[in-house]
């Protein structure tokens, strides 16, 4: 580079604001572009620029913290900067600017990822009306907001609202696709079918999932991840209808394909094996189920350690098999251990912990400790209603068991 070019670059640099200089230098420092890399110093400069409303710096920080391959990957930190992005766009561009609206949609999506569903809802509901007004009901961004809001409703236990949103979304996407099953239409059908399952409309769910499986197999091929997800959902729907033979057939097919395509130890293969074991247990094939869950437990224990959600799920499922076999003392010991670990990993009111607390209470009741079991179930039920909704299958399971134990205790006291 000539002396004249160097002089021009220096003048251009001096013309930049401090925020712009901090952004460019911080970005170069973080990634080691033409200077020695220093992640910590780079982040510090980018944050200084972001605090001065540099939109480029804010976007850079979002990308850094959302990058799963980055050493600084942190979804919650990314959300913090997405919040900052919305505030800055509102200040610089206005509430109704396209960039502000897009940033709001991205923030709502990010809230879903970190399970901040109420915050996602608070953004998505007015955002949907805004996008309908400015873009129209069938615009891709409007449809994306409808899809995200339907997901949020489902996670909040508002299954009926989720179904209504997904039904409307399916109607619009089907019309846009001219009745042809494209990927977006099939995705909406899949989500709606799963929602129907949560609402207890299992036949409706099953019939829609059959169409999704057929459509995705034709469009994407049998080994595509989306097709395999549909097969898994169809198997679950079949099990809910009591069609255990069909469910087992589908799950065995899924295990075979995923083992061949992904490998025996792949997490998705492990999930399929887990679901197969769960269905075998429901079908009364306890020995096969127990063998699968014990093998999965050993694999997950070696890979992740005991204080891991997947390992604890396998322990829980072994406990379920013991329940099915009437081995309540062994089941109680296992569920008690899982409950303690989940309380430490999450808290006492997390859905996974509530599931373990339920099974501890169930085993105690079956072992004759009815008063203690009833007391615990009465504590669990309102928490389940709050976390998952009254119509959720887990909530109804708690209520049914509570009523059964109360009736049994009443009969014992009469005698």
Query: Domains of the chain: which residue ranges?
Result: 157-173+182-241
CA 83, CA 75: separation in Å to the nearest integer? 12
What Å distances lie between residue 236 and 253, 290, 349, 368, CA to CA?
13, 19, 26, 33
CA nearest 165: which of 145, 141, 190? Answer: 145
Structure tokens at 369: 């400790």
- pLDDT at site 8: 45
- pLDDT at site 157: 85
- pLDDT at site 11: 54
- pLDDT at site 13: 58
Long-range contacts from 235-240, C-beta under 8 angstroms, 24+ separation: 235/275, 235/279, 236/197, 236/275, 237/193, 237/197, 237/202, 237/205, 237/206, 237/209, 238/206, 239/279, 239/282, 240/197, 240/202, 240/205, 240/206
- pLDDT at site 394: 87
Is the pTM higher than 0.85? Answer: no
Residue position matching structure tokens 């589908």:
250
CA 39, CA 55: separation in Å to the nearest integer? 20
Q: How far apart are the first and last CA of the chain?
A: 100
CA 177, CA 169: separation in Å to the nearest integer? 12
Segments of the chain with pLDDT less than 70: 1-13
Q: pLDDT tens for residues 296-337?
A: 999 999 999 999 999 999 999 999 999 999 999 999 999 999
Contact 304, 322 (CB under 8 A): no
CA 376, CA 356: separation in Å to the nearest integer? 11
- pLDDT at site 1: 45
- pLDDT at site 179: 74
Region of 201 (left: φ > 0; alpha: ψ -120 to 50; beta: rest) is beta
């Amino acid at each position: 580079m000539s002396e004249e070019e160097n002089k021009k670059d220096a003048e251009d640099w001096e013309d930049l604001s401090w925020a712009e200089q901090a952004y460019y230098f911080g970005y170069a420092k973080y990634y080691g572009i033409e200077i020695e890399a220093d992640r910590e110093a780079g982040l510090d400069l980018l944050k200084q620029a972001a605090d001065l409303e540099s939109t480029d710096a804010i976007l850079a920080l979002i990308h850094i913290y959302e990058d799963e391959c980055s050493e600084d990957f942190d979804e919650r930190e990314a959300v913090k900067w997405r919040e900052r992005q919305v505030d800055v766009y509102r200040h610089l561009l206005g509430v109704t600017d396209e960039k502000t609206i897009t940033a709001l949609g991205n923030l709502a999506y990010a809230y879903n990822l970190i399970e901040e569903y109420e915050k996602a809802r608070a953004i998505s509901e007015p955002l949907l009306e805004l996008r309908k007004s400015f873009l129209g009901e069938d615009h891709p961004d409007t449809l994306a907001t409808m899809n995200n809001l339907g997901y949020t409703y489902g996670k909040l236990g508002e299954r009926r609202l989720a179904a209504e949103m997904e039904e409307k979304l399916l109607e619009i996407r089907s019309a846009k696709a001219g009745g042809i099953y494209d990927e977006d239409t099939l995705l909406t059908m899949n989500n709606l079918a799963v929602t129907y399952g949560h609402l207890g409309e299992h036949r409706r769910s099953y019939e829609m999932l059959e169409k999704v499986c057929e459509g995705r197999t034709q469009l994407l091929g049998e080994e595509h991840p989306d097709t395999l997800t549909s097969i898994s959902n169809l198997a679950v729907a079949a099990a809910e209808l009591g069609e255990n033979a069909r469910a087992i057939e589908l799950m065995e097919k899924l295990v075979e394909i995923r083992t061949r395509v992904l490998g025996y130890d792949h997490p998705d293969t492990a999930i399929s094996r887990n679901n197969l074991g769960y269905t075998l247990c429901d079908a009364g094939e306890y020995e096969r189920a127990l063998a699968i869950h014990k093998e999965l437990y050993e694999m997950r224990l070696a890979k992740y350690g005991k204080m891991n959600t997947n390992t604890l799920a396998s322990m829980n499922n072994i406990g379920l098999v013991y329940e099915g076999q009437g081995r309540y003392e062994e089941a109680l010991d296992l569920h008690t251990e899982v409950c303690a670990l989940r309380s430490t990993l999450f808290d006492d009111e997390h859905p996974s912990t509530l599931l373990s607390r339920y099974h501890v209470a169930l085993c105690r009741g079956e072992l004759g400790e009815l008063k203690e079991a009833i007391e615990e179930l009465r504590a669990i039920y309102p928490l389940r209603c709050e976390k998952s909704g009254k119509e959720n299958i887990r909530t109804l399971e708690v209520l049914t068991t509570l009523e059964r134990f109360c009736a049994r205790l009443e009969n014992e006291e009469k005698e």
